[in-house]
Amino acid sequence: MKQNIFKKILVVEGVLLVAFFLLKASLPEVFSSLMAFPFEQIGKILRTLSLSGSAENILALVFYLLLSLIPAVIYLFRFRKKKVEKEDHLLLLLSGVLLLVLYYMINPGKMGMVFGSAAGAPVGKAFLGGSVYSVLIAYGVLKALRIFLGAEKSEVSKYLVWLLGFLNILFVFNVFGLSFGGYLEARKSFLAGNTDPSQNLFLSEVFLLLQHLVRALPYFLSIFLVNHLMVLSDEIRKDRFSEETMQKAHVLTRLSVKVLVGIVLSGMGIHILQLLFMKEILSINASLVIPVMPMIFVLGVLLATQFLSENKRLKEDNDLFI
């Protein structure tokens, strides 16, 4: 059941990310950057409401304060329940940051005083949104660390499943967020720099797409690897030495090897293809990108499954000895 929920979350995440970057391409004045979402849009709504009249201005102020103080209210609620931990103090900091960030989002004209000009507004909005996310990430990591360290042995596997689910969210973000958004930006820049109607850009655009597909491939393959790992974790929780567990571990081992081979060969392949067609294409990517995070994850999964198989073999040997 949990895996079905995670899969639905991943599908929704992917669709929303693609929709955002398509909206960004068509409405850049509303969707300037992913980091600024949703604070930029909230700021525009509250600004429009504020400029509609005196009563609406008061209503916009109320909404501004309510939204900004939500983390502080959560802190007070936990304080009354005597459940405040050290990391919960970041909730107060988050409210302060939200007050500042939403103020600038509602009044984008004031960003010029900080970032130099109106041209710097997209960068400024991304920086402001990133400030909020930095506090949220710090709070989430510290809270998760406390939960993991204080978890009972029986709860560790449950939290491991949630951790794997979060890891998949990050992989989907890389595929449909960073990679897809990066491709749209690169294609926009490429077309803007090659406006000669006599040029045939088809092959160059194909290679531009292939370059970004190769960059996204390690994260895309890792999504399927995590799904299989979640299935294996369920079997381990039932019986880590059962034949079903060993069978799924062997499947995951073979899949890990194939994923690692695919990552390495795809990176090599795109460079060889560019070498063969370098005279015909205008979108050569000379940088060598090594997907360290997916490769470490795949190697970690491979080592874990091998370790599980070795434990099974040692148990069988001990049973025979006894």
- Reported confidence tier of residue 62, pLDDT bands at 50, 70, 90: very high
pLDDT score, position 71: 96
- Reported confidence tier of residue 165, pLDDT bands at 50, 70, 90: confident
Helix (H/G/I), strand (E/B), else coil: 33: coil
pLDDT score, position 117: 58
pLDDT score, position 173: 93
pLDDT score, position 7: 84
Type of residue found at 239: D
Which of the pair, 258 or 58, is modelled with greater confidence?
A: 58
Residue 2 has pLDDT above 90, yes or no: no
pLDDT score, position 19: 93
pLDDT score, position 314: 63
Residues in the chain: 322
Residue 241 has pLDDT above 90, yes or no: no
- Reported confidence tier of residue 1, pLDDT bands at 50, 70, 90: very low
Cis amide prior to 38 (ω within 30 degrees): yes
What are residue 150's phi and psi, to 5 degrees? -95, 5
DSSP state of 153: H
pLDDT score, position 131: 94
Would you put residue 138 in left (φ > 0), alpha (ψ -120 to 50) or beta? alpha
d(CA 259, CA 228): 13
Report H helices in the chain. Answer: 2-26, 39-50, 54-68, 70-80, 90-106, 111-115, 121-149, 153-172, 180-193, 202-238, 243-276, 292-321
pLDDT score, position 296: 78
- For 49, residues 6+ apart whose C-beta sits below 8 A from its C-beta are 56, 57, 59, 60, 63
CA dist 99 → 30, 44, 132, 134 (Å): 20, 15, 10, 15
d(CA 150, CA 142): 12
d(CA 142, CA 171): 21
CA dist 253 → 20, 164, 226, 249, 304 (Å): 36, 17, 12, 6, 9
- For 172, residues 6+ apart whose C-beta sits below 8 A from its C-beta are 10, 13, 14, 17, 219, 223
- Reported confidence tier of residue 313, pLDDT bands at 50, 70, 90: low
Residue 60 has pLDDT above 90, yes or no: yes
pLDDT score, position 116: 61
* pTM of the full structure: 0.80
Which of the pair, 281 or 150, is modelled with greater confidence?
A: 281
Under 8 Å between Cβ of 178 and 16: no
pLDDT score, position 300: 75
Based on the number of CB atoms within 10 Å of its own CB, is 109 exposed (0-12), middle (13-18) or buried (19 or more)? exposed
Residue range 276-292: average pLDDT?
Answer: 77
d(CA 216, CA 208): 13
